Amino acid sequence: MKRIGIFAKRHHQDAIKLAGDVMTWLNERDVEVFVDEPLAVDMGDVKGYPGRSIPALVDLVIVLGGDGTLLSVARLVGELRTPILGVNLGSLGFLTEITRDELFPVLEQIVKGDFSVSERMRLDVFVRREGDLLGRYRVLNDIVINKGALARIIDMEACVDDDYLTTFKADGLIIATPTGTTAYNLAAGGPIIYPGLHCLVISPICPHTLTNRPIIVSDEAMIKVKVKFKDEDVALTADGQEGMPLKGGDIVEVRKSRYATLLVKSPSKDYFEVLRTKLRWGER
């Protein structure tokens, strides 16, 4: 491990200081460090590199912050298989599972090449209007079709592999990977799915029909959702960070991407321990 990139949450003082400590630590071990340009500005007298260029230049990327920061870096990694080490500096993080106290012992092992990764599925999402491709996204967590605050319930006609599923009448719809089931899907009453399982979950948001419940389908399925409404404020959001407004008749297509995201696993705890810690299972 000779080259490592560092990204961090913007204007987060703890992240900026920790980035400096990590950079010094790595340099002392003859590891070349590539700092994201915005972070380099926050750090001061440090050379920065364009974020999009870093994943191709390094053997590993370190993300200091929370799950939102990691999701944005995962988009920069794109089709590369550069592993991401997520360090949680916030109050809750399922993707950034390494704590600040664990960071340097974990880095010691990583520099020696002694680490393992979890391969996380991503989704390719296409938005079509009257046959034209208007938007394309690649997501790690989920895509959400959601109405604005003043919009009425929207109809969303869903098909799986061209087989009609149902027309959801709801405030919105979530299509999530197993990784994304601990995000908006969980808040909407959807199930938690173990990351290694090969499936997707479709979860309606506040469905008008109470029998419309979340449904799990194969990750080989092609999911198509046709939105039906007039003069309503409806949007598609990808990983909570990108998106576009939708019009009645638009079709959203979702399928598994060929490209996965590699997350460095904690050597001291497994996925279920992360769940117990984050969700406080078993506490009275």
CATH number reported for the structural domain that contains residue 196 in this entry: 2.60.200.30
Quick one: 127 and 250 in the same domain? yes
pLDDT for residue 268: 86
Q: What is the pLDDT of residue 229?
A: 84
Establish if 228 belongs to a structural domain. Answer: yes
Q: Are residues 165 and 178 in the same domain?
A: yes
Residues 101 and 41 both lie in one domain: yes
pLDDT at 97: 83
Helix (H) or strand (E) holding 25: helix 13-27
Q: Facing residues of 163 across strands?
A: 160
Instruction: Indicate if 30 and 111 belong to the same structural domain.
Output: yes
Same domain, 115 and 134: no
Task: Specify whether 102 is located in the same domain as 136.
Answer: no
Same domain, 145 and 231: yes
Number of domains in the chain: 2
- The answer as to whether 284 is a domain residue is no
Residue 245, domain member (yes or no): yes
Instruction: Flag whether 252 is in a domain.
Output: yes
Task: Encode burial over 73-90: b for 16+ CB neighbours within 10 A, e otherwise.
Answer: bbbbbeeeebbbbbbbbe
Residues 138 and 150 in one domain: yes
Residue ranges of E strands in 54-99: 60-65, 84-88
222 with 272, same domain: the answer is: no
The answer to whether 67 is a known catalytic residue is yes
Do residues 251 and 127 share a domain?
Answer: yes
pLDDT tens digits for the chain (284 residues)?
899 999 999 888 999 999 999 999 999 999 999 999 999 999 998 999 999 999 999 999 999 999 999 999 999 999 999 999 999 987 678 888 898 989 999 999 999 999 999 999 999 999 999 999 999 999 999 999 999 877 788 999 999 999 999 999 999 999 999 999 999 999 999 999 999 999 999 999 999 988 899 999 999 999 999 999 877 789 999 999 999 999 999 999 999 999 999 999 988 888 998 899 888 888 87
Provide the Cα torsion 125, 131, 134, 140; round to 10°. 0
Q: Which tokens in the block code for residue 265?
A: 């696993």
**Is residue 153, in this structure, part of any structural domain at all?**
yes
Q: Tell me whether residue 47 is in a domain.
A: yes
Does residue 194 form part of some domain? yes
pLDDT at 180: 97
Token pair 């601990």 in the structure block, residue: 182
Catalytic residue among 67, 142, 171, 250: 67
- Tokens 């929370």 correspond to what residue? 66
Print the domain residue range for 205.
123-256
Alpha-carbon radius of gyration of the chain? 20
pLDDT for residue 107: 96
| Burial state string for 203-234 with b = 16 or more CB within 10 A and e = fewer than 16 | bbbebeeeebebbbbeeebebbbbbebeebeb
Query: What CATH number has the domain bearing residue 64?
Result: 3.40.50.10330
What integer pLDDT is reported at residue 168 of this predicted model?
A: 96
Which residues make Cβ contacts (< 8 Å) with residue 63, sequence separation at least 6?
7, 8, 69, 70, 73, 84, 85, 86, 87, 96
* Domain shared by 186 and 205, yes or no: yes
Cβ atoms of residues 89 and 12 within 8 Å: yes
Instruction: Yes or no: say if 58 and 69 are a contact pair by the CB < 8 Å rule.
Output: no
- Compute the distance between CA of residue 187 and CA of residue 39 in angstroms, rounded to an integer: 32
How confident is the model at residue 231, as a pLDDT?
A: 74
CA–CA separation, 208 and 164 (whole Å): 19
Q: Are residues 75 and 111 in the same domain?
A: yes
Q: Look at residue 48 and tell me if it is in a domain.
A: yes
pLDDT of residue 93: 81
